[in-house]
Amino acid sequence: MHQATSATVGEKPLLSLRNINMTFGGVKALKNVSFEGRPGEVHCLAGENGCGKSTLIKVITGVYRPADGAVIEYDGEIYSHMSPVTAQDRGIQVIWQDLALFPEMSVAENIAFHEVLGRRPRLVDYNRMRRIAIDALARLGVTLDVELPLKEYAIAQRQIVAIARALIGEAKLVFMDEPTASLTQSETDHLLEIVRTLSASGVAVVFVSHRLAEVLEISSRITVLRDGALVGVYPAAGMTQSRITELMTGKTFDQHVRARPRDDQPVVLEVRGLTRPGQFEDISLTVRRGETVGITGLLGAGRTELALALFGMLKPASGAISIEGKEVRFGSNRDAIKAGVAYLSEDRLSLGLIQPQAIADNLVIASLRKILSGGLLSEDRKRSLVSRWIADLGVRIGRQADAISTLSGGNQQRVAIAKWLATDPKLLILDCPTVGVDVGARAGIFDIVARLAESGLAIILISDEVPEVYFNADRVLHMAQGRIVGTYDPRQARLEEIEAAVYA
């Protein structure tokens, strides 16, 4: 637990909300919620997707107008609702999850974007913008080439640019909505360091994150919401991850090591000396029938590249892949699918599922051949195939024809898994299957994984969260810089030992 910089935390709240109610089409999104933020404090807003976190942020920043009776007290003044303009003028800044940046424009322009705003056309003062950008970055202790287009930088630096932009307007209250969702561990550490710098300078930070470890590390207080209602406000000191999960979901989860011996089973996948220079080197591994092999390591360790090679989307330079004893050479992922390999992409939103399309169409996309009838797609066959998988994986849907984007993260992931199961794979590669999935729904996903393994599927489970592979895999492989640097048996190794090795 880190120092909560108690010296700089003000006693009087900067922001205090009372009696916030918000209704959308008959559904109460916020029920009598209150919230408080003090200067110099990092306050975490925790809760599952749909619990009202984003709605609350949008009320504070003036995007939504709460029901009558709401009291928003900010910096000595009382409002019944905010407007986006007032919020900005009074120093309330939001760093949205999707950042709202301009990739083709320079870093300087992205940070000092307000300089080009306004109705009245003016000449652009690039020198001024450059200065503003460099100053803002310096406040965060970062140097970037501000002339380069933003697209030249990785997502972690873009995140920093978004923060720098939020800071130039003399921000007093900064909301960060899932700022670490796509960052590696070391990038996250750096970001948290920046958040500390920020709060030490007296800014009130409201931090929203799915990753409970960093919530505990960074925040001094935690406000938990569930189903639009306030559960409580807790000091971070003395809090544990499992306690927060309980508060968020209202359920208790017991995690136990699920590993079982699978040495007697036939080998499904055998990889020998697989190499693709610069991405992965000399990878050898076997996965047996019914076995779940976990691969963990930092982002950029070559995990996804290895998975893509096993799925025929990257060509290895040397080494061999055998499936059920037969050596295979994949020209494309079509060959891999034919050979019985299925790969669940880490990027469900843009790669894994076709968001605007119907649930049913998403589910059958990889197995269209099975629903042919006389050479044409059969609606009946599609419906029965979809019904079977929906029931089998316990996906909660309205109608099969609804767009996949109407489902929650957890249910979307179930459909994505069903899509691949419908191809009758022998080997299922799950790449970070819980990204963007609620804590509560995660357990459900891993129950499915365990059941699939029990039914004989060979599974590779990739995750950058060590506990996920520790509790759910039969064997854990640690990848770093493109190589397998450690193999652990969860029944013998301790979680802390693996974590120490991975995050070292």
Partner 1 sequence: MRSLIRTHATEFSLLAVIVIISTVLSVATANFFSLGNAFDLLNISAVNIIFAVGLLVVLIAGGIDISFAVAASVVQYCTAIALGWIGGGGWISGLLIAGSLGVLLGCLNAFLIHRFRIISIVATISTFNIYFGLLMFFTRGVSIYDLPEWLTDRVILFEQEMPDGTWIEITLPVLVMVICVVATWMLITRTTIGRQLYAFGDNPEGARRFGINIGAMQFIAFGWLGLMAGIGGLIQAHYAQEVVPNALYGRELDVLAAVVLGGARLGGGKGSVLGCVLGVLLISITQNGLNLMGVSPFAFKMIVGAIILVAITLSNTRIERLLPFVGRGAGR
Q: Which of 7, 27, 78, 123 binds partner 1 (CB under 8 A)?
A: 123
Secondary structure (H, E, C), 168-217? CCCCCEEEEECCCCCCCHHHHHHHHHHHHHHHHCCCEEEEECCCHHHHHH
Q: Which is nearer to partner 1, 188 or 279 (CB)?
A: 279
Please, what is the minimum distance in Å from the beta carbon of residue 465 to partner 1? Answer: 18
* Contact string (CB under 8 A) for partner 1, positions 215-254, x = contact: ----------------------------------------
- In this chain, which stretch among 68-76, 120-128, 185-193, 394-402 interacts with partner 1, using CB under 8 A? 120-128
Q: Which is nearer to partner 1, 83 or 240 (CB)?
A: 83
By the rule CB under 8 A, 301 interacts with partner 1: yes
Which residue do the tokens 């800044």 mark?
93
Please, what is the minimum distance in Å from the beta carbon of residue 278 to partner 1? Answer: 5
**Measured distance CA(165)–CA(157) in Å, rounded:** 12
Site for partner 1 in 147-206 (CB under 8 A): 147-149, 152
What is 387-399 written as a DSSP string? HHHHHHHT---S-
Sign of CA dihedral 368, 373, 374, 377: negative
Cα→Cα distances 366→119, 338, 379, 417, 466, Å: 49, 11, 16, 11, 30
By the rule CB under 8 A, 267 interacts with partner 1: no
Q: Which of 10, 266, 273, 277 binds partner 1 (CB under 8 A)?
A: 277
125 Cβ neighbours under 8 A, 6+ residues apart: 115
Yes or no: say if 191 and 160 are a contact pair by the CB < 8 Å rule. yes
Please, what is the minimum distance in Å from the beta carbon of residue 415 to partner 1? Answer: 26
Q: Which is nearer to partner 1, 304 or 423 (CB)?
A: 304
Q: Which is nearer to partner 1, 313 or 450 (CB)?
A: 313
What is 18-62 written as a DSSP string? EEEEEEETTEEEEEEEEEEE-TT-EEEEE--TTSSHHHHHHHHTT
**Measured distance CA(457)–CA(427) in Å, rounded:** 6
By the rule CB under 8 A, 276 interacts with partner 1: yes
Which residue do the tokens 């070292």 mark?
504
| Residues forming a β-bridge with 267 | 288
Residue type, 230: L
* Contact string (CB under 8 A) for partner 1, positions 479-498, x = contact: --xx----------------
Site for partner 1 in 136-155 (CB under 8 A): 145, 147-149, 152
The strand order across the sheet containing 458-462 reads 341-344, 427-431, 458-462, 292-296, 475-480, 483-488
Q: Which of 5, 49, 71, 105 binds partner 1 (CB under 8 A)?
A: 105
Q: Which of 1, 24, 69, 103 binds partner 1 (CB under 8 A)?
A: 103
Q: Which is nearer to partner 1, 351 or 368 (CB)?
A: 351
**Measured distance CA(287)–CA(392) in Å, rounded:** 25
Q: Which is nearer to partner 1, 137 or 299 (CB)?
A: 299
By the rule CB under 8 A, 130 interacts with partner 1: no
* Contact string (CB under 8 A) for partner 1, positions 302-321, x = contact: x-x----------x-x----
Q: Which is nearer to partner 1, 54 or 362 (CB)?
A: 54
Q: Which of 180, 279, 333, 463 binds partner 1 (CB under 8 A)?
A: 279
Site for partner 1 in 1-60 (CB under 8 A): none
Q: Which is nearer to partner 1, 250 or 277 (CB)?
A: 277
By the rule CB under 8 A, 82 interacts with partner 1: no
Nearest Cα to Cα of residue 218 among 45, 464, 393:
45
Residue 362 backbone dihedrals phi, psi, to 5 degrees = -65, -40
Yes or no: say if 272 and 318 are a contact pair by the CB < 8 Å rule. no
Please, what is the minimum distance in Å from the beta carbon of residue 498 to partner 1? Answer: 21
Yes or no: say if 381 and 370 are a contact pair by the CB < 8 Å rule. yes
Q: Which of 116, 138, 213, 368 binds partner 1 (CB under 8 A)?
A: 116
* Contact string (CB under 8 A) for partner 1, positions 342-371, x = contact: ------------------------------
Q: Which is nearer to partner 1, 114 or 494 (CB)?
A: 114
By the rule CB under 8 A, 117 interacts with partner 1: yes
Write out the H or E segment, with its range, that includes residue 304.
helix 303-310
167 Cβ neighbours under 8 A, 6+ residues apart: 93, 136, 139, 140, 174, 198, 203
Count Cβ atoms below 10 Å from residue 74 Cβ, excluding itself.
22
Q: Which is nearer to partner 1, 444 or 482 (CB)?
A: 482
Q: Which is nearer to partner 1, 112 or 439 (CB)?
A: 112
| Residue ranges in contact with partner 1 by CB under 8 A | 84-85, 96, 99-105, 109, 113-119, 121-124, 145, 147-149, 152, 276-279, 299-302, 304, 315, 317, 481-482
